[in-house]
Amino acid sequence: MTDGNEHHERARGPLLTVPQVARVLQVTCRQVREWVRSGRLEGFKLGRRTVRVPQASVLRFVQASGTGAGASSAALAEVEASIAVELSGSEGR
């Protein structure tokens, strides 16, 4: 995990919070933080405790975590739909 300045410039598209990523991937927030800390999932710190994960990083993670050549297009479409729901829900907050 690196600081936000370096990755913020490269991150194109929506940024997700740790709880949003956890809901999309159906895992705990602790698991998401561990994946980010270990570098398995690209994320970056915006402050002392605030972590954001680019949408593209989540999709790459799902694809790399799939079996064989990666996740199926159906699995990726399902994750993209879940991300859209998460992002639309966060707009009203």
Residue 70: predicted pLDDT:
56
Quote the number of domains for the chain.
Answer: 1
pLDDT at 10: 55
Looking only at the bridges linking them, the beta strands covering 51-54 and 44-45 are antiparallel
pLDDT in tens, 52-91: 999 999 999 998 887 555 567 888 888 999 999 999 986 5
DSSP letter (8 states) at residue 39: T
Domain, as residue range, for 56:
2-91
The pLDDT value recorded for residue 71 is 66
Contact 71, 65 (CB under 8 A): yes
CB proximity list for 23: less than 8 A, separation 6 or greater: 82, 86
